[in-house]
Every structure is written in C-alpha cells, then in structure tokens.
Structure 1
Amino acid sequence: MRQGAARGALELGALGVVFGDIGTSPLYTVQTVFSPSDPHRVHVSSGNVYGVISLIFWAVTIVVTITYVLLVMHADNDGEGGIMALITLIRRRSMPSKRRTALILAALGIFGASLFFGDSMITPAISVLSAIEGVQVAAPSVATIVLPLTAAVLIGLFVLQRLGTGAVGRMFGPVMVLWFSVIAACGIHGIAGNPSILKALSPTYAGAFLFGHFGTAFFSLAAVVLAVTGAEALYADMGHFGRGPITRSWLFLVFPAVILNYLGQGALVLADPVHAISNPFYLLVPAWGRIPMVFLATAATVIASQAVISGAFSLTQQAAQIGYLPRLRIDHTSEERAGQIYVPWINWALCVAVLALVFTFRTSTALAYAYGVAVTGTITITTLLFFYIARQQWRWSLWRVIPIAALLLTVDGLFFAANLTKLPHGAWLPLAIGIVVFIVLTTWQKGRQMVTLQRARDEGSLREFIDELHGRKPPLLRVPGTSIFLNRGKETAPLAMRANVEHNEVLHDHVIILAITTLPVPHVADADRLEIDDLGYKEDRIYHVTARFGYADIPNVPSLLPLVSAAGKEHALSGGKISYFLSTIEIRRGNTPGMSRWRKRLFVATARLTADAAEYFQLPRESTVIMGARIEL
C-alpha cells in the first residue's frame, strides 16, 4: 500500500512538472497551422484538416512516445536524464580510438543545451500569452488588456522564483490533473459532434497530406512541431521522478488527453471552418466555461513556464560544475530537496528577455514562428547522441540502429528544415540565442583551460613544496588550530598556502589541502566522497583531501568535516579553531597566444559574473581568509 502511494505521488508530481509544456501545446498548435497571418498558412479544407490532425497525432507518437519514452529515456546517467546526461555518458565512456568523435558529439550536445536557453525564453512568453488570449474570445471588449495582463503574470512568476517551488509544487499535480481532464472532455465533446475526425488516426491521411501536397505539408510542419514542444522535459526530469512514473503518466493520461483535444479541435474546424480557425482551442469550450478556462489555462501555462525556468537554473548549475560556465550565485530554496535552486542572474536575464519577446511579437501566433527551431534542434541532437551511445556503448547491431535511426532522424530533420523556413519571420531569434550561448560556454571552457595552465606554473609542484617544508631548518612555526586550503587538485600547491608560508612564515598545527572534483555523474555517495593522503609525511600533519561531488550535488565544504573525522582524521579537527583559506585570481587580457582578442574580452567579462567562492562552497565568512593573485591571458 505504501509503495503504491509513493508511486502515485511520483506520478502526480511528474504531471505537475514534466508535462506542463507539452500539455499546454493544444492552446496554440492547431490555431497556428491554419492562421491567416502565417505566410505559409494551410488553407482550410476537409483533406487538409484530416492531414494536419493526422500529422499532429503521428508527430507526437513518433517524437515523444517512440523517441523519448521508449528509447532515449533508457540512456540515463545514474538515473539522471537530459542532454547533459548524454554528453557526460559520451565523455565518460568513450574509447580512446573514438575520442575525437566523442569530443565533436559532446560539442554538438553543448550546442543542443545552448538551444534550450532559447526555448526557456520563448516558452513562458508563448504559453502565458496564448492562455490570456482566451479573454479575446470570452470577452472581446477587453482585448486591450491581454498584453499588460500577460506582462503582470510573467513578472509575478519571476518575482516568486526566489521563494522556491516547495509549497506551490504540491499544487502543480492536482492542477494539471484537472487541466488534462478538462481538455480531454472538451475534445470528446468536439469529436461527438463530428466522429469522422477519428479517421485522422490512420497514418494514410498523414502520408497522403505529406506526399500528396508536399509543398503545403512541409511548411505546416513548422507549426505541427509545436505539438511536441516540451518533449525534452520528459527526459530532463527523469532524475526527479524516474522513468516508470513519467512513462505511465504519459501513456495513461497526458497522451490520450492531448490527442483527444487535437481531434476535437479538428472536428470543430471541419464543422465551422471560417469561424473556428480564429481560436479553435477556446471555441471548443462551451461559452459558459470560457472565462474559467482562461484561469485554468493561465495556471497550467504558469506551471509549464515554471518547469522550463527551473530547467534553465539546473542547466546553468550543471554547466558550471563541468566547466562550461563560471560559478554563479545559486540559492537553495528547499532544505529537503537539493534540486530546488534559484539562480538570480539567470532569473532576471530570462525575465527581461521574456518580456521583450511578449511586447515585440505581441501575439502567440507570431511567437510560434520563432518557437520551433530551438525545440527541433535539441530533439535532433538528442536523437543523434542516443544512437551513437546505442551503437558504441550498448553494442546495438547496425541492422538495428540504421533503420530506426534513419526513420527518426528523417522525421526530426524534416521538422528542423521546415522551421528554418521561418528564419525571416522570427525563427532566427532562438537560433541566434543558441549560438551566442554556445560561444559563451565554449569560450569559458577554453579560457578556463588557459588560466589553469598559467596558474599551475605559478603554484608549482605540491610534492616539492611539501618536501621543502619537511626539510626546512629551523622548522616552520606551527600555531594551534586547523587550516583548510581550497585547491584545484593534487599536483600544485595552493597559492594562499604558499603566500602564507613565504610572507607569514607560519602554519596551523593541522593543515588540510582540499580539492573539489566534480565528476560526470549526478550524485556521489558519502562512502565514495573522500580520498585522503598524508603526502608521505604523516608527522607533518599536512593532509591532502580530494572531495568528489556529482554535477547535481551541492559543494558544501563544512559538511565534509564529519566525513574527514569518520575517515580516521578526527584529531585534525579537534585542535580548536578551523580557518578556511581561498586563493582568488584576477584575470586580465594580455598577449598570451591561444585565443582571439574578442574571445579574451568575452572571457574576462564572463569572469566578472563569478559568484563569491566562499558563498559558493558555503564557507563561514567569519572563518575565511582570501588571498589574491593576477593572471594575464
């Protein structure tokens, strides 16, 4: 009984977080396909309606159910999903002979992750705007409040991010259960009025439309793909809820509900082609229920937006921990759930970008033109990386990989190509955002490598430094207490420790040189957390400790002290006051070869966003000493 309740709670939570984006796609997908303002609109006719609804059904089936639920979600990184999981799987398990290919695919994956930032800007804008546009259907006289009301809802959403989603999160699941139940009921009502729409479930209608009217159908794919926006969330949130709950929620509630609603909208357009295309989602709702539906849709789209914003926070944290971004200030908004984080800089950058999108594009239909490129790009890259893993790591045979990969990548490629036709109409925006983010990520990684090399030269060998200390005559003065010097690794000496010895000629009774290592796995168990080395001179009471964290772990240094004691070094922490020492680096642009001048400027500018190291590692301010140095690139 208890196990069933826990499983039900996970499925309810998955409904509230995972399916918000894809579950609100019926708000704008069919409307966008037939929109008169679309330069490549599909004209309403019986054959076109059947073809479009059939394409939507098979797009959702192939991309979401087959690609993600049945295939990609099996490629988990210790239970974690998302494109970052695929990147780390490729980097961690690639054979030496395939190293170059693995690096190229990892770079492609980073570009896919970069496109997600474009998605995280457009999703809140189009979702909330499309929901509030229902006011125009229910009460046309107050249509002028749509943009101000949308802006107010979005600002409120971003303001509330700092409070976390703990209390609100418990409401997400029930709201989405109500949402899916209502849109399914509306769909059934529409189907009952014109049951012939059920013929669209046959792939012959999708095939006839695609191949019989390829010019029209190809351009329609740019709007049809809106039905699968949010597919990446199924995979990205797998670590929070597990494959089973997400799969069951999709197959038994979400998939049937959205398909019933699409069929109902198709039936309505068949019955009233002139009037219904203005907003088939809201016109499918009985007149008495449209105002309540506006409120329910707004709640559902806020939830969808919350999921994408939280995903941007998580992606930022993971990118920083594997070396593609500087450490940003991260607030943990829940004591119970480490994954609930708030990144202020990202939050307000997204807020400005989302509001700019709303007031620039002004309608959800116009925003839809810009929406598909980021989504289809990420899906295509995810599919490609999955089949590389399936072939190289799982040893799938070629006869198994080639036909499945060819089918799925052809579908993904058609969607991506169709969305490229929208470049002059706004699709350039998420692509440009993705390119800019990709340049920032790769520039930071390259610049960080250059800084690391120069810093290693300045720090010198740790072994040689310890040998010098051991052989020093007279011995260095030791004072009561324990000092913890944070360092980058085990090869070089901490700059702060070297400066302390050279200028103050003193060390504490016990010294711990602590290196934080982020592994390409989401979590590391406490039993595997530490590696302790006395550096060959046990009597010197100087220890090197390597602390391993996963990219989804919180790098809390004080929390390591009980683990150090448990590892047999309790005497090192029982001598009184504990002091933490940090080495900070000021980076200046110089003439070091290896990076163009404009990328050096970008690297230095990005470095200014770096969060305070003491705050990042959660060091107590009153016990932390910071020493600085300068490096020129």
Structure 2
Amino acid sequence: MDPQLSPDACSHHIKKETWKHTLLLSFQSLGVIYGQLSTAPLYVFGTIPEKDIASEETAFELFSFIFWTMTIISLLKYAFIVLGADDDGEGGTFALYSILCRHAKVGLLPNDRAANEVMHYEAGSPFRIKAESRARRAIEKHKSSHYLMLFLALFGSCMIIGDGVLTPALSVFSASSGLQRSLSDMSHMFSYSKSRQESISKDLKRYVPVPSACAILVCLFMLQHYGTHKIGFMFAPIVIVWLFFISGVGIYNIFRWNHHIIYAISPVYMYKFIRNVHIKSWRALGRIILCVAGSQAMFADLGHFSKKSIKITFLCLIYPVLILCYAGQAAYISKNLHVKNFNHLSESVPEHIRHFFIALSLLASAVGSQATITASFSIINQCLSLGCFPRVKVIHTSDKIHGQVYIPDINWLLMLLSLTVTVGFHDIIKIGNAAGLAVVSGMLVTTCLMSLVIALYWEKNLLESVCFLLFFGFIEASYVSACMLNFHKGAWYLVVLLIFSLTIMLAWHYGTMKKYEFDLQNKVSTEWLTDLSPGLGVSRVPGIGFIYTDIVMGIPAFFSHFITNLPAFHQVLIFVSFKSLPVPYVHPSRRYLIGRVGPKEYKVYRCVVRHGYCDHIRDTDGFEEQIIGSIGEFISVEENDFESLTSPEGRMIVVGKPSSSPDGKALIPMNDTSSNVGPASLANNETQVSPLNDITEIETSCSAPVKRKKKVRFMLPADSPKMRDCVREELQQLIDARESGTAYFLGQSHLSVRNGSDFLKRFLIMMYSFCDRNCRQPPVALNIPYAALVEVGMVYTI
C-alpha cells in the first residue's frame, strides 16, 4: 500500500515492531485470540456420545483426526498462509473481500465514472488495478461473480457471528457440567441410599449447569465494555495457568494410561477410520472439527494484534500444549471405556486435583468465549463501514490500536442469544453440533475467498490457487458433510440464525444500493443551484450550511426539494459526503478532498471525506472545525496546487497535510469557552457546535435555557504579506459565516416499492425500512445537535 495512505502514529500498524512490544501483544493475545482454542478440550471429546467410542482403536483414530486437523488447518492454513493475506494489518472475511474489491473490481455499490474517480483519486494510488489477467477479466465481466463474492463475504460474517453466539454457551456450559459431576461425586461420599443419591444427581443436573452457565455468561458480556486491551491483561494469566495445567495433565495421562497414543499421529489410523466408516462414526467428525474452533479468530482478530505476535504464540505455546492435552485425554479414554462419562475432560484429571480443575475450567471457559465475541465486534464494524449492516454505535476502546472496538447493541444481543441457546438446549452435544457447523462453514468461506486472493492479489500461478482450493476445500467440505448429518440434533439452530442475520445484511445492502441509485438518477446539476438569482426570489442568509449527501457530484434531490419550497440558503454552503473505500485506513492527511461548486463568488464548496472500513472519523471530536480548516487550506493553495483532480465540477484538491506556504496555515484555530448554544433558525443560527462533539440536549422552545458549550473559533494569520487580498477576503467571509451560525441538512428518505414489484423486492425493502426506523439514526450517528438540524423528507420509489 502507498505509505501516504497508511496511518502512522495513530495506526495499529507499527513499522519496526520491537520484541518487547511483540511479547506484550503475545501475552494479550492469549486472553483474547487463543481462549477458544485453549478451552476446546473441554468439549471436543465430550460432545461425542459415549456409545460412538466403542474401542481403544476408535480413540486412537479420533486423536489422529484431531492431530492432523490441527496441523493442516490451524498450523498450515491459518498460521502460515492466511495470516499473510492481511489487508494492511486487518484480517477477517471482509478484509479478503475488500482486497478483491480493490484488485478485481467486484464492488457492487453503483457509481458513475466521474464519482468513482473522485472517490479513489490519489497520487500513486493503490486503487489502480494491476495488469489484466484472464481470471481478472472473467470475474469482472460476469456480474454474477460479484454477487457470489458479496454473498460469500456476508455468509462468512454470519458464521463468525453465529460462532460468537454458540461458543460462549458451549464452553461455559461444558465447564458447568463438570461442576455438576464434581458435586455429584461429592454426594457419593455420604452414606445415602442409592435412590437418594440418584435423586441428588438428578437435582444437581437440573439446577447446577444451566444457572451457573447463565451467571458466567452475563458476567462475561458485562466485561466487554472495558475493551480488548484490559480484557487481554485480565484473561491472559488465566489462560497461561490453564495451558500449563492441561499440558501437565496430558503428559501424566500419556505415561499413566497409554503411551502408545503417540503412534496415533500416523495417518494410517485415519485411513482405518475411513475404511470402516458408517453414518454414526462419520457424525463424530462433526464434533472433532471443534478442535480447531478459534483458529479463524487468529485471522479475524488480526486488527487487535500483529502477525508476529499471533504466530509466535501459536507455534511456541498453543499448538504443542493442545496436542499433548488431546493425546493425554485419548490415552485415558482408550483404557477407561467402562467409566461413566469417560469422554469428558474432567474425568481424565487425577482425583486429588479435580476440584481445582473444575474451578479453573469455569474461569477458562469464560476466557474461551472472548475470541469469538471480539471477532464478532470486528466483523460487524467492517460490515457497517461497507454498507452491509444497519447503523449501530461503535466504541473504539483504544487510541493506538484502531481495530479494537466494542459495540454495545451487538454485545447485549449476543448475550441474549447465548442465554437462549444455553437454556433452550441445555445439552452440550446439541450445542456442539451447531458450533461445529459454524466453525467449518466459516473456514470453507475463507478458503474460497483466499484462493481468489492468491490468484488476483498475490498474482500466483492459477494452478497454486486451484490446489489451495481443492486441498483445503475438500477437507473442510468433508467436515461440513459430517456436521450436516447432525442437522436435526441442534445444527438447525445455526441455520435459523444464519437466515435471520443474512436477511438483515442483504436487505440493508439492497436498500442502500437502491437508495444510492435513486440519488444518482435524481440529482440536480450544479448549474441549477448557481444559476439561481435574487430575481427568482432566492436569498442568501448569514451562516454556514452543511449538506450531508451520499453523492459526490451534483446537487442531491432532497436539497433541491428544500430550495424549491423554501427559497433561501446560507452564505456558505458545504456539501459533505462520507465515502468508505475498500481499505482499512486512509491517512488523515489524505482524507479530505475539497473542491468548489460553481464560481468563487457563490461560496459553495464540496468536501468528500474518504475513510477506510476501520476508521472512526464520525466519532472524532472537532469534525466541523477540521472541515472548515481544510476548506481554508483549499482556498489558500487553490491557485498554486498542481496535485489536483479535474472533475466535471472543477478542481478538487487533497487537503489535510501541513501547508507548504511560508505563512503557515490559512486559518488559525482558537479555543473559545464562552460560546452560547440556543435555538436554531435558518436565518440566524446561533448554534455553533461541532457535529461530532457530544450531543447536548437542547430545548427548542423560545424559553429554552441557553447552554454553554466549547467551540473552536478561527482567525487569520497576523502577518501574511504573501497572501493575496482576494484570498484573505474569502477566508474572512468564511470566518464571518462561521460566527453567524451553522445548520445541518439531512435527507430523510422513505422507501416505497412500485406497484407490481415481486415479493422478494417488497420483502427486502420492507426489511430495510424496518431496520432504518429502529437502528441508530443519522443525526445520532453523526453527532449532529438537533437544535441545528434541518431534515428534509423525501419518498424514494424503488
């Protein structure tokens, strides 16, 4: 990527990562990324019915599958190959999709050619497509392939969200079941009758696992607002103790019960399993895939850490410890087929430390859920930025690592769904069946997208891409077939969850796309606005008007509708467009693209704010001041700037870097703590607050109390002999307009479907309208003060 587009100090990306920082991130990753992988032994063998493990040979064969599945998928695929396909340090399904959008032109949001040039304009831009190839031409030519890639990206995202619902329920419930068995064993120490002991066991099974699991889940989700950084430090010590404990127990079991389990790493045991396979034994593979549950978090949570830290931790600690643990458990199972609940991890722990293990497993199970929850936040944040998820509040929990986010609405929704799964199923086998399908389906989507990245982005030989797809795709497809055999035993819940979440994503994307197409088709030319004269009854009033619009060329239909009904607009107009680009970050110095709309005397400007899918510019304080400062820079360098884009509306200049003029910045910001915020009007709006500052509740009546709010005022440089008089005059007019007040114009769209439209179109538009009414509203998302907001309603007939 062009270094101009890569964030420096404000990015998660560190050019020269020190060993100290790598070790620190490795330590934190234990509590966030590897919690799920580390706690998988709690339920991998435990989700397999006891009757399906009928002999010592079966235990050896299942361990052989675990060893090679972890080696091929977790180690080879994710640690060595997929981690190399990061999108400027970001990972996940949408990171792969954004790479394809840039390098294969598969994006589906419509743009006219001029608007596309404006959005992607950059000197030395990484958006320029690489040399044509047969594969790239074929993909670009067939529109169906574009829809297929978007569907794969959304499908993979839904699988990660589904994993975020099921894994917390699975890991916590499995640990709680161990607690119930431990208490049941303690009851046998008392001299109760056999019937009394059976009654106690039933009561413990009914009243211990589900309530304790629910209590732990509630506590876990309540901790999420502290952010990845703090949670990583809190959870990492627990994972370290857990890893050393289970590795020690594994070594003990290997030498205590059956050291011949080491021979099971031979693929011959897998061959024996497949040779004698039948439906019941094949179903067991749907639970074995849970041994790699959490491997996808290595890639999905990449934005929270670094590739080096993730890889070092996995190779040096996670992988060898888990192999030892599974080997020890399989060794115990092979010699204890007569013991009740022999396939549960707690039974393989020596009795004198079993109670300590139960307490530790309860803590570790909560940690194990963190990886999927964090991955869900990351993937939804990416979907949101690319217009594939309804507006929700995103809180960035770190100023240094921008990939660390917390989404309150999603957090509570995941908690509710996890509790529903725990209470509704209260069966580790059924929950495991659904979780296994979620894990392997997400991995299969990653394999499909990764094969395209190898061919189109890495530009490897087509044979290498096909081999990657066939090798890993065949393995994962085999596991999918095993999971589908358990569809009626719990896996159906994942399908219901998939239909629900995928419908919302597709409906939101469809509605966004149709709304944008309507805006493009009904926009008004710039001449329509600039040709308006006082003779036509249109007047200019003091102040600045910010018009928020999705289009980057022309006048939006809602604003022309407003002018037609109320023929007046502000002394200075600024058309602001937020445009998400298929990159993780856009450097602040390259973020604003400023240009004029019409002749200078009209003082109408356009500001295109370009951002990546991990940027959080809409939550940045002082956004209004940044735009005004950028326009001031544009005015001062307009005549002499040679790095500009000539658009149909005129020149547009990238603004944000320090001014190269000897006079410094065109406008000097000054903090003013005595500004008043009161009722707003179009003629004289005295509300002078940033649209991205915290919203202050303001009464709109005439008797409303005036509230005090900080603002940034501007002044011209004291001594600037090289600044021309016309430039100084225009800058002074901009300052005066700011002092007169600011108003914000938003289009309030109401989508309706044309008569005669098919059911699918009506359903998608209905779902979009429902989500639009109930999600976070644009004024809130933009932090616009309601006292200064002007909403213009329009009906969009789709």
TM, length-normalised to structure 2: 0.74
Question: Aligned to 1:493, what secondary structure does the other structure show?
Answer: coil
CA distance in 2, matches of 1:536, 1:474: 18
CA distance in 1, matches of 2:60, 2:782: 57
The equivalent position to 1:452 in structure 2, one of 502, 516, 520, is: 516
Residue-by-residue CA offset, 1:412-448 (whole Å, 9 max, x unaligned)? 1110111110111111221232133222222222222
Question: Aligned to 1:596, what secondary structure does the other structure show?
Answer: helix
CA distance in 2, matches of 1:51, 1:277: 19
Q: Does 1:554 align with 2:595?
A: no
Residue-by-residue CA offset, 1:539-593 (whole Å, 9 max, x unaligned)? 2211100001111111327436336515345433563133332222233455274
- In the alignment, is the contact (CA less than 8 A) between 1:589 and 1:604 conserved in 2? no
- TM-superposed deviation, 1:118: 1.9
The equivalent position to 2:781 in structure 1, one of 616, 620, 633, is: 616
CA distance in 2, matches of 1:272, 1:573: 82
- In the alignment, is the contact (CA less than 8 A) between 1:225 and 1:372 conserved in 2? yes
CA distance in 1, matches of 2:771, 2:536: 45
The equivalent position to 2:576 in structure 1, one of 493, 510, 514, is: 514
The equivalent position to 2:460 in structure 1, one of 381, 396, 408, is: 396
- Residues 505, 300 of structure 1: alpha-carbon distance in 2 compared, 3 angstrom cutoff: same
- In the alignment, is the contact (CA less than 8 A) between 1:496 and 1:581 conserved in 2? no
**Equivalent in the alignment of 1:74:** 84
Comparing 240-249 and 215-224, the one that deviates more: 215-224
Letter in 2 for 1:61: T
Residue-by-residue CA offset, 1:288-326 (whole Å, 9 max, x unaligned)? 333332332222222232332232223222212212222
CA distance in 1, matches of 2:755, 2:355: 63
Question: Aligned to 1:485, what secondary structure does the other structure show?
Answer: strand
Q: Which structure has the larger Rg?
A: 2
The equivalent position to 2:744 in structure 1, one of 580, 597, 605, is: 580
- Residues 527, 203 of structure 1: alpha-carbon distance in 2 compared, 3 angstrom cutoff: same
**Equivalent in the alignment of 1:625:** 790
**Equivalent in the alignment of 2:44:** 29
Superposition pairs of residues 198-277 of structure 1, within 5 angstroms: 198-213=262-277, 217-275=281-339, 277=341
Question: Aligned to 1:501, what secondary structure does the other structure show?
Answer: helix
Q: Does 1:423 align with 2:433?
A: no
- TM-superposed deviation, 1:221: 1.0
Comparing 166-175 and 533-542, the one that deviates more: 166-175
**Equivalent in the alignment of 2:67:** 57
**Equivalent in the alignment of 1:5:** 20
- In the alignment, is the contact (CA less than 8 A) between 1:369 and 1:427 conserved in 2? yes
Q: Does 1:527 align with 2:527?
A: no
CA distance in 1, matches of 2:275, 2:788: 71
CA distance in 1, matches of 2:137, 2:275: 44
Question: Aligned to 1:273, what secondary structure does the other structure show?
Answer: coil
Letter in 1 for 2:155: F
**Equivalent in the alignment of 1:600:** 765
CA distance in 2, matches of 1:472, 1:157: 63
The equivalent position to 1:489 in structure 2, one of 524, 528, 551, is: 551
Comparing 445-454 and 73-82, the one that deviates more: 445-454
Question: Aligned to 1:548, what secondary structure does the other structure show?
Answer: strand
Larger helix proportion, structure 1 or 2? 1
Superposition pairs of residues 276-295 of structure 1, within 5 angstroms: 277-295=341-359
- Residues 481, 295 of structure 1: alpha-carbon distance in 2 compared, 3 angstrom cutoff: farther
The equivalent position to 2:99 in structure 1, one of 89, 93, 115, is: 89
The equivalent position to 1:345 in structure 2, one of 409, 424, 440, is: 409
- Structure 1 stretches lacking a partner, 5+ long: none
**Equivalent in the alignment of 1:323:** 387
CA distance in 2, matches of 1:488, 1:589: 21
- TM-superposed deviation, 1:336: 5.5
- Residues 536, 107 of structure 1: alpha-carbon distance in 2 compared, 3 angstrom cutoff: same
- In the alignment, is the contact (CA less than 8 A) between 1:223 and 1:368 conserved in 2? yes
CA distance in 2, matches of 1:610, 1:568: 36
Question: Aligned to 1:78, what secondary structure does the other structure show?
Answer: coil
- Structure 2 stretches lacking a partner, 5+ long: 1-15, 105-135, 188-203, 636-666, 668-730
CA distance in 2, matches of 1:291, 1:623: 62
CA distance in 1, matches of 2:339, 2:554: 72
- In the alignment, is the contact (CA less than 8 A) between 1:330 and 1:616 conserved in 2? no
- In the alignment, is the contact (CA less than 8 A) between 1:137 and 1:283 conserved in 2? no
CA distance in 1, matches of 2:735, 2:432: 59
**Equivalent in the alignment of 1:465:** 528
The equivalent position to 1:542 in structure 2, one of 599, 604, 609, is: 604
**Equivalent in the alignment of 1:134:** 178
Letter in 2 for 1:411: I
Letter in 2 for 1:32: T
- TM-superposed deviation, 1:338: 4.1
- TM-superposed deviation, 1:139: 1.5
CA distance in 2, matches of 1:589, 1:104: 25
- TM-superposed deviation, 1:204: 2.1
CA distance in 1, matches of 2:273, 2:531: 79
- TM-superposed deviation, 1:462: 4.2
- TM-superposed deviation, 1:486: 0.9
- TM-superposed deviation, 1:166: 4.7
Letter in 1 for 2:66: I
Residue-by-residue CA offset, 1:162-191 (whole Å, 9 max, x unaligned)? 454553332122222222121111111111
- TM-superposed deviation, 1:69: 1.2
Comparing 324-333 and 41-50, the one that deviates more: 324-333
- Residues 632, 501 of structure 1: alpha-carbon distance in 2 compared, 3 angstrom cutoff: closer
- In the alignment, is the contact (CA less than 8 A) between 2:59 and 2:330 conserved in 1? yes
CA distance in 1, matches of 2:236, 2:222: 22
**Equivalent in the alignment of 2:193:** none
- In the alignment, is the contact (CA less than 8 A) between 2:524 and 2:556 conserved in 1? no
Letter in 2 for 1:51: E
- In the alignment, is the contact (CA less than 8 A) between 1:91 and 1:102 conserved in 2? no
Q: Does 1:152 align with 2:208?
A: no
Question: Aligned to 1:139, what secondary structure does the other structure show?
Answer: helix
Superposition pairs of residues 93-112 of structure 1, within 5 angstroms: 93-94=103-104, 95-99=136-140, 100=142, 101-112=145-156
- In the alignment, is the contact (CA less than 8 A) between 1:116 and 1:434 conserved in 2? no
**Equivalent in the alignment of 1:375:** 439
Letter in 1 for 2:501: V
Residue-by-residue CA offset, 1:340-370 (whole Å, 9 max, x unaligned)? 4443432333222211211121122231122
Question: Aligned to 2:608, what secondary structure does the other structure show?
Answer: strand
Letter in 2 for 1:223: R
- Residues 217, 441 of structure 1: alpha-carbon distance in 2 compared, 3 angstrom cutoff: same
Aligned length: 626
CA RMSD of aligned residues (A): 2.5
Question: Aligned to 2:18, what secondary structure does the other structure show?
Answer: helix
Residue-by-residue CA offset, 1:40-85 (whole Å, 9 max, x unaligned)? x523312111111111010111111111111111111122111111
CA distance in 2, matches of 1:387, 1:456: 35
Letter in 2 for 1:521: V
- In the alignment, is the contact (CA less than 8 A) between 1:115 and 1:377 conserved in 2? yes
CA distance in 1, matches of 2:751, 2:520: 15
- In the alignment, is the contact (CA less than 8 A) between 2:26 and 2:310 conserved in 1? yes
CA distance in 1, matches of 2:46, 2:342: 7
- Residues 275, 560 of structure 1: alpha-carbon distance in 2 compared, 3 angstrom cutoff: farther
CA distance in 1, matches of 2:282, 2:442: 20
- In the alignment, is the contact (CA less than 8 A) between 2:56 and 2:335 conserved in 1? no
- TM-superposed deviation, 1:457: 4.7
